[in-house]
Structure 1
Amino acid sequence: MMACIIELLAGISGLLVMFDALAPWFLRRAFLAPRMVEKGTPARFNLPYQEISIDTEGGKRLFAWYISAPQITSAPLQAPAIVVIHGWGGNAEMMLPFAPVLHRAGYSLLFFDARNHGKSDADDFSSMPKFAEDLEHTIDWLEARPDVAPGQVAILGHSLGAAAVLLVASRRRVAVVVSIGAFAHPAVVMRRLMAAHHVPYSKSH
C-alpha cells in the first residue's frame, strides 16, 4: 500500500514539474496577439512611400512604411516627423487614415508593425514594454535621417500603442505625444485578460 502511495505521489510530482515547465509556453500562446497582415499600402491615399525594415531588440526586424514630407520648394527640406504605432492585434495599415491629413500638414511619417504584428518578425511574446522598445528603435531610425528636423520627432499611438508612447515619453525627449485610447493602468488590463482566459489571479496583501 505504501509503495502505491509513494508511486502516486511521484507521479503527481512529475506532473507538477511538467506543468511548471509548460505553463509559460501555454500563457504565451493564450496571450498571443492575432496577426493581421497588411493588404493595402499608402498608395491607397495617393501618398509616395518607401517600404523599409528597421532593426529592433533581439536581432528582430520591423516592417514599416516611410512617407516623406511634401517638398514645398526644390531645395532639400528638413521636416518634422511622426511615428505612428497601432494597438494590440493591429498593424500599420489600420493607422493609415491618419496619413493624408498629417502629410498635408507638412510631416514626414513612419508607420510600422510591432513585433508579432503585421509583417514584422515574430518574437516569444508581445507586451506594452516591447511595443515601447520597437517604438524607440523607429525613433532612432528617424532621428538619423538627414531629411528629418533635429528634435522634431513626434509619436502617435492607439490603444496598447498609446500606452507605449506614454512610456517612451517618460524616458526620452520627443517633440509631441499623441495618445489615443490608452488604458488607465496596465494591471487593470492584465486582470481582464487573465479573467477572459481563465487564468487565476491572486492579490497579495
Structure 2
Amino acid sequence: MKATLGGVVGFIIIGALLAWLVWQMGVRSQRPRKLPNLDAPDVSTEWGPVTFMSHGSKVEGWLLQPAAHAESKEGKLPIIVIAHGWGSNRTRVLRYAHSLYQAGFAVFMYDARSHGDSDSIHAPSALMFRDDVMVAVEVARHLPGIDAQRIAVLGHSLGGFGALLALESGMDVKAVVTDSMPVHFETMLKSELRRKKLPVFPLAYVIPMIWLIRSGISRAQFKAANIPLILEKYAGRAEAGLTPVLMVHSNGDEFISVKELRELKEQLPEGIIDTLFVSTSGHSTSEQEPAFWERVIPFLQEQVVNAVGKKEACGTRLQATRENI
C-alpha cells in the first residue's frame, strides 16, 4: 500500500516538474531578442527621433525625410511606416529606407514593444504587433510636414502579419506591403522554437495555449487572427473601398517558407492581393533583388502618392452616379 502511494506521489511530482518545464519553455519562447539600435541611423538624408506611447509603454522611433526637392506640390509628404519583425528592431529594417526616401517618401520606423529601445511588456504577441502598428500609423498621421491622407505600411515578417491584422481593426492606410510574412501564427512559432533550439514537438501544440494565457488573449481572438479571411474581407482595389496589398516573399527564405504565400495566392479569389516572388537567400534579403524595388516603388506611388487624386476622381464618379439616379 505504501509502495503504491509512493508511486502515485512520485508520478504527481514528475508531472508537476514536466508541466513547470514546459511552462518555462513557453515563457522563453515568448521573450524576443532585444537588439540595441545604432545611436543614429546610417542614412544620407535628414532624420530625427520620435517617441510615442503605445498602450502605456514608451516606443522609440526615427522619422526620415527625403530631400527637400522631393516634397509634394502641397508641401506635405506621403509617408511609409515600417514595421519590423519578431526579435528585430528599427536599425535592421533601415535596409528599406534609402530606396523609399530617394523615391520621395518620408519614412517612419519604430521599435515594437519589447524590442530595441522601446519598453518591454510581460507577454509580447502577434496582437501586440497589430496594436503597435496601428498606434504608429496614427502618430505618423500627425507628424509635421506629413500628408495625413497618404500613408502606407511596409511590414517585414511578423510586422507584416500585424499590419494585416490591423486592417480588420480599422487601420486606415492607402496600401500595405508585406515582406517574408508568415501566413499562419503557428508558422512563426515553430520557426522561433527552432531558432531557440527548443523541440517543435510537442511544444508547438502546447505553447500557443501558454502564450494566450500570459497575453490575456481569448481563444476567440486567436481564431479571429485568420489572415486569409481578413484579406478576403479587407484587401483589394482602392476604388472598391478596400486596401491594396502587395505580398513579397523570397524563394530562398529558409526561416519562413515561401510555400505559404504560394498556397495563399491559390486559395484567395483573383484580384484580392498582388504578389511578388524573388530569388534571394535568407529571411531578410528580399530588397536586395532589383525586382523588389521595381515592383514596390511603382505600387506605392500608384496607391499612396496618387491617392488624393484617385479619391477625388472616385468621389466625382459617385456624385455623377447619384445625379443620374
Q: TM tier, shorter chain?
A: 0.7 to 0.9
**Which amino acid is 1:39 matched to?**
L
Q: CA deviation at 1:185?
A: 1.8
Aligned equivalents of 2:205 and 2:53: distance in 1? 38
Q: Could you tell which deviates more after superposition, 120-129 or 16-25?
A: 16-25
Aligned equivalents of 2:187 and 2:65: distance in 1? 38
Q: CA deviation at 1:143?
A: 1.4
Equivalent in the alignment of 2:119:
121
Q: Decide whether the 8 Å contact of 2:45 with 2:66 is kept in 1.
A: no
2:58 pairs with one of 61, 73, 79: 61
Aligned equivalents of 1:67 and 1:190: distance in 2? 32
1:45 is paired with a residue whose SS is coil
Equivalent in the alignment of 1:169:
167
Equivalent in the alignment of 1:197:
198
Distance 1:65 1:146, change over 3 A: closer
Aligned equivalents of 1:170 and 1:154: distance in 2? 16
* 1:71 aligned onto 2:102: no
Distance 1:144 1:21, change over 3 A: farther
Q: Decide whether the 8 Å contact of 1:169 with 1:177 is kept in 2.
A: no
Q: Decide whether the 8 Å contact of 2:154 with 2:160 is kept in 1.
A: yes
Q: Percent identity?
A: 23
Normalised by the length of structure 2, the TM-score is: 0.53
Aligned equivalents of 1:22 and 1:63: distance in 2? 34
2:68 is paired with a residue whose SS is coil
Aligned length: 199
1:81 pairs with one of 72, 79, 82: 79
Bigger share in helix:
2
Distance 1:76 1:192, change over 3 A: closer
Q: Decide whether the 8 Å contact of 1:61 with 1:121 is kept in 2.
A: yes
Distance 1:193 1:65, change over 3 A: closer
**Which amino acid is 2:46 matched to?**
P
**Which amino acid is 1:38 matched to?**
N
* 1:27 aligned onto 2:63: no
Q: CA deviation at 1:54?
A: 1.4
**Which amino acid is 1:48 matched to?**
E
Aligned equivalents of 1:202 and 1:67: distance in 2? 42
Instruction: Note the alpha carbon deviations across 1:1-58, whole angstroms, 9 max, x for none.
Output: 44x655664575467567657754541223321121113522x22222111211112x
Equivalent in the alignment of 1:138:
136
Q: Decide whether the 8 Å contact of 1:28 with 1:124 is kept in 2.
A: no
Normalised by the length of structure 1, the TM-score is: 0.81
